Structure 1
Amino acid sequence: MSRHLTEVRDWMTDDPVTIAPQLSLYEAYTRMIENDIRRLPVVDRRGNLLGVITLSDVVKTAAFTRDSAKVESDLLANTQNVAAIMTEAPFTVAPDDTIQEAAELMLENQVSGLPVVDGARVVGIITESDIFRLVVESWASVEIEM
């Protein structure tokens, strides 16, 4: 596989779902559930990265329960906003970084996804699922060549 095809830009999700820091934890939870994602880049009005909030971060603020209706009601009652619990200054990668660099950063820091930034502006997100997709497609192309 050529070096170009192992750049983050070729495997990231473009224009990821994001959230503003002043919005509620319930709004963050709803966006993640509706979009079947586990993390949201937190951005300012210009799309610059301020932090990351994960589904795990949000659910931890609710009372311990496996009942999603209870989680939702707890989050509706919670007055904290996204900025209160987001991870500030998260690890990031650039679009022209390699998948290897992204994977190493994820492994070293035990994170499952990274915002992709151009300067400070969020342009994508790369997750362990994206990297698994690359691995599977690489294996498939090797089998075809054999």
Structure 2
Amino acid sequence: MHHSLVQDWMTPNPITMSPETSLHEASNLMKQHNIRRLPVVAKGRLVGIVTWGDVREASPSDATSLSIWELHYLLVKLRIDDIMSKEVLTVRPEQTIQEAARVMLQHKISGLPVVEDGQVVGIITESDIFRLVVQEWEREVEPALVEGPMR
């Protein structure tokens, strides 16, 4: 696991959106594809990231006193560049999974865009790292359990 590279475990060519995307569109895209973060790309370059938490926080509460028309107007007018994080932590494809995991732990985040020459080429998430951990565990630990204790 120490030498596993981000490029071998990342999701390549992730779904991205432009800064002009509406909050409503972003929310629908995240729900439709069951994803919790979307890199924001302008002219082929990463300019921000939006998480499901950002979208939820920017959305009106169910207890709002706004009418359905006022809500619709706000949701269509609010753009991703109004709520996105502009300071984005990233990793490169050739970095190790251990390095990516360390960045996620230190910053308490669950995923990182993978960037090469300024372009988003993938995304690595906690789930990808868990997949690696489980695979390693199954490869190393389970055979020992099946064989039983050494005598």
Relative to the length of structure 1, the TM-score reads 0.87
Task: State the distance in 2 between where 1:98 and 1:19 align.
Answer: 27
Task: State the distance in 2 between where 1:75 and 1:13 align.
Answer: 33
Task: State the distance in 2 between where 1:75 and 1:8 align.
Answer: 40
Q: Which of 42, 53, 59 lines up with 1:56 in the alignment?
A: 53
Task: State the distance in 2 between where 1:139 and 1:74 align.
Answer: 49
Structure 1 position 144, deviation (Å): 5.2
Query: In 2 relative to 1, CA 2–63 (structure 1 residues): closer, same or farther, beyond 3 Å?
Result: closer
Is this contact kept in 2: 1:12–1:124, CA < 8 A? yes
Please name the residue that 1:130 is paired with.
128
Please name the residue that 1:30 is paired with.
28
Is this contact kept in 2: 1:14–1:124, CA < 8 A? yes
Moved over 6 A (4+): none
Where in structure 2 are the equivalents of 1:1-146 lying within 5 Å? 1=1, 3=3, 6-46=4-44, 48-65=45-62, 74=71, 77-78=74-75, 79-143=77-141, 145-146=143-144
Q: Give the length in aligned residue pairs.
A: 137
Larger radius of gyration: 2
Amino acid at match of 1:139: W
Is this contact kept in 2: 1:25–1:75, CA < 8 A? no
Please tell me the root mean square deviation across aligned C-alpha atoms, in Å. 1.9
Structure 1 position 80, deviation (Å): 1.5
Give the 3-state SS of the residue equivalent to 1:105 in structure 2.
helix
Task: State the distance in 1 between where 2:30 and 2:16 align.
Answer: 10
**Identity over aligned residues, as a percent?**
45
Structure 2: gaps (5+ residues): 64-69, 145-151
Structure 1: gaps (5+ residues): 67-72
Please name the residue that 1:69 is paired with.
none
Amino acid at match of 1:102: A
Deviations 1:48-106 (A, max 9, x none): 1001001110111122249xxxxxx9466321211111001210000000001000000
